[in-house]
Amino acid sequence: AQKVTQAQTEISVVEKEDVTLDCVYETRDTTYYLFWYKQPPSGELVFLIRRNSFDEQNEISGRYSWNFQKSTSSFNFTITASQVVDSAVYFCALSVSDYKLSFGAGTTVTVRA
Amino acid sequence: AAGVIQSPRHLIKEKRETATLKCYPIPRHDTVYWYQQGPGQDPQFLISFYEKMQSDKGSIPDRFSAQQFSDYHSELNMSSLELGDSALYFCASSIRDRVEKLFFGSGTQLSVL
């Protein structure tokens, strides 16, 4: 069975601070996909990134960066120089051969002005 | 570009009533997934369809049923509604075996009073 753990329930930062969201996953499959989604107060799920298990390269997209480490089964997400608009719930998710997603419990990020 | 369309956006029902949620996948997508997200919870997989056949089933109550039609749209039917069915229901579509083509709709917020 697949499992995604987001140990941080809530994180509160002041604008311009960096914030790192932890994600640890469990699976016996050798081929899998990892995702991050943002869910703002309006409720929709906004896709941020997808990584397959064979691609351990870190990625940077603007103020967002991701650190994928298979050795520790982690796929952490960092927001650099956070802004108020980054306030949302962030979900890490895992998909294996059946392609349905198993989500973590989510981390609520609050960025204060 | 066309996205996954869900209707209605909001739905209010009384206990023991019936509700039907609709999902229109991205054109040429043959697979549809339904997820339920309770208040403060992460999305949970309910059921999926590929080429109009049920492909996988999660924790979907027996009071719920779903189908995918010849035009690939899907409907989630919920009967004998309970207060605990109040949730955000997401539909996602993809091309089978192409998880990189997975996209979510904006969700239907169901409130059972």
pLDDT tens profile B33-73:
999 999 999 999 999 999 999 999 998 999 999 999 999 99
Nearest chain A residue (CA) to B94: A99
Q: Across the interface, which of A45, A104, A106 has its CB nearest the CB of B104? A: A45
Phi and psi torsions of B7, nearest 5° = -140, 150
Mean of pLDDT over chain A: 94
Closest C-alpha among A71, A89, A67, A59 to residue A22 = A67
User: Which chain A residues touch B48 with a CB distance below 8 Å?
Assistant: 99-100
User: Which chain B residues touch A33 with a CB distance below 8 Å?
Assistant: 99
Secondary structure (DSSP) of chain B: ----EEE-SEEEE-TT--EEEEEEPPTT--EEEEEEE-TTS--EEEEEEETTEEEEE-S--TTEEEEE-TTS-EEEEE-S--GGG-EEEEEEEEETTEEEEEEE---EEEEE-
pLDDT tier, A55 (very low <50, low <70, confident <90, very high otherwise):
confident
pLDDT tier, A99 (very low <50, low <70, confident <90, very high otherwise):
confident
Please check whether residue B34 touches A, CB under 8 A: no
